[in-house]
Each structure stands twice: as C-alpha cells, then as structure tokens.
Amino acid sequence: MEVLYGLHPVEEALKAGKRRFDHVLVARERHDARLEQLVAQCRQARVRVLEQPREQLTVAAKTPAHQGVVALVHPQEFLALEDLFAPPAGKPAASRLILALDGVEDPQNLGALLRVADGAGVDGVVLTERRAAPLSAVAVKASAGAAEHLRIARVVNLVRALEELKRQNLWVVGLDERGESDYDRFDLTGNLVIVLGREGAGLHDLVRRTCDHLLRIPMAGGVSSLNVSAAGAVVLYEAARQRRAAAGTSTTHVQKAAARSAAPRSGGKPQKQKGLGS
C-alpha cells in the first residue's frame, strides 16, 4: 500500500480513476469548504473516509505537510514503453511529444517536471528504474497531482528505449549546455522525444551520443545552466508554443511538416532533419 497526501494529489487521483483507494484519512481539526468538497468526491467514488487527529495523519504521511488529507492507495501501475508508441486514446494522431528523464534523482524536480509535462501536453513520460527518484508521495505532491493523469513508462535501459523510439520514427533531442543549437531556434513541432539529464551532471555519455540533436538554453548571467525542472519548463513550453502556432498555419504546411517527421529512417541510422538545428 502507498500513501498520497495533500489536497491536489488526492483530488487528482480521484479524478483520474487510475488508483485503487483503500481509504482516506482527514484531519478532525480541519473544517472548510475545500475539504468538505473532497470528502464528497470520496463518498461519490465509494471511497471510505475516516476522521483522525492531525498527529495521526502526520505519522501516516511521515510529514506534517499533508494539508489534513492522507490517502492509502494501491501502487500505480506503470506502462510498457510500447504503450507510448501510439497517441493517447481520444487524441488526434498528430505529432507526438514524449519526455524522457535520464536519472533525475530529486523527487521535487521529478514532480515539478511531471507537472510541466502535463501542462505542456506531453503524450508520455519515460522514467528509468534505477538511479532515479521513485514516483513517491513527495514527487506526486510536487506534481500537484499531475502525475495521476500522465502516461508514464518505466524502463531498465534508457539508451535501448530511445533506440526503440527512433524506430517508431521519433527524433531524439537532448538538452545539454554543450548543444549545437539554441532550443528556441529548433523545430520542435515534429515527432520528438525530449531528453533531460541528471541534476548537475546532465546526460550520461551514452544517452548523449544516442540523441539525434543536442540543444542548449543560452545563459546571459554568471551561471552556466538552469535547474533541470526549470530547464524542462522552458523547453517543453517552447515546444507547446511552436505546436500551437503550427496548428494555426495552413493545412498544406502542417501536412508537409508531418510528412517530414514521419519519414522512415534508412538502415536504422538517424537522418539529418532539415531546417534549424541540422
């Protein structure tokens, strides 16, 4: 059994309907409309609600930052990589955008990135099983519950996963301070995997070499790079902006862009992408 705590995470888990709830604990001392609304949602979903002293919730959550709500839930089931090959159900078969994380270890950064990914319209997220932050209650809380709505796959070997995504006609773009092109001058409208690396160390060498392109965020100040969650927000929302702009262009231009991004790879080797960043 796992723990979720905080109003947003529990509320979003109820909305998403992916988690099996055992029961929800609410603080006996808290009385407000927000909590009453959440309790009503639990009862509508036929989830058992128990009132407990705030101290008991702190023990269950292992933190006082539970906002008066703690849920006991069954572990989240991750997808296989193959589940990300097609767009989500009900979404048009347009260019896909996938986020891959290469060993992000801080659960706060993981949660922040998942929140950004959900807001930017990412179609799926790839996480590694080892040497990376687990999708813990801390990460889910930091995501404000966005983790409950995303399609998330866990893989053992990220390099093999990226190679498989290449065979599905997605371009792999890594974010690296030594990248050859600025992120905002690169065409981010096609079928893409955006790869973000570890805090401080960045991408592993093998992952970096697997990328088709490496992009950088130009820095005007004294530090050389942004925190990984801030960098992810910058690049993912630039991708979202470009995709919205592309959707507003003529059908002919959109079809040409889709044809370029969907072009098969010859012999399994990356082909040069035309335009900026080549």
Parts of the chain belonging to CATH 3.40.1280.10 = 81-262
Parts of the chain belonging to CATH 3.30.1330.30 = 2-73
Report in angstroms the alpha-carbon separations of 85 from 12, 15, 218: 25, 25, 32
CA-angle at 266, arms to 261 and 271, nearest 5°: 50
Q: CB-based burial of residue 75 (10 Å sphere; 0-12 exposed, 13-18 middle, 19+ buried)?
A: exposed
pLDDT band at 136 (very low <50, low <70, confident <90, very high): very high
On the question of pLDDT at 147 being above 60, the answer is yes
Evaluated on CA atoms 126, 128, 133, 138, the torsion sign reads positive
pLDDT for the residue 263: 53
Contacts of 230 by beta carbon, 8 Å cutoff, 6+ apart: none
Residue 42: helix, strand or coil by DSSP? helix
Q: What is the pLDDT of residues 47-75, one digit of tens each?
A: 999 999 999 999 999 999 999 999 999 98
DSSP-assigned states of every residue in 58-117:
HHHHTSSTTTTEEEEEPPPPPBPGGGGSSPPTTS-S---EEEEES----HHHHHHHHHHH
What does the pLDDT average to over 264-268? 48
In the CATH scheme, what is the code of domain 81-262? 3.40.1280.10
On the question of pLDDT at 268 being above 60, the answer is no
pTM, two decimal places: 0.82
Residue 257: helix, strand or coil by DSSP? helix
Task: Give percent above pLDDT 90 in the chain.
Answer: 73
d(CA 109, CA 131): 14
Q: What is the pLDDT of residues 166-202, one digit of tens each?
A: 999 999 999 998 898 999 999 999 999 999 998 888 9
Q: What is the pLDDT of residues 17-38, one digit of tens each?
A: 888 999 999 999 988 999 999 9
In words, the CATH class of domain 2-73 is alpha beta
pLDDT band at 92 (very low <50, low <70, confident <90, very high): low
pLDDT for the residue 159: 97
pLDDT band at 164 (very low <50, low <70, confident <90, very high): very high
Report in angstroms the alpha-carbon separations of 148 from 46, 136, 273: 19, 12, 34
d(CA 232, CA 229): 5
d(CA 170, CA 87): 12
Q: Are 52 and 88 in contact (CB under 8 A)?
A: no
How many Å is the Cα radius of gyration of the chain?
A: 20
Contacts of 133 by beta carbon, 8 Å cutoff, 6+ apart: 104, 105, 106, 107, 109, 110, 139
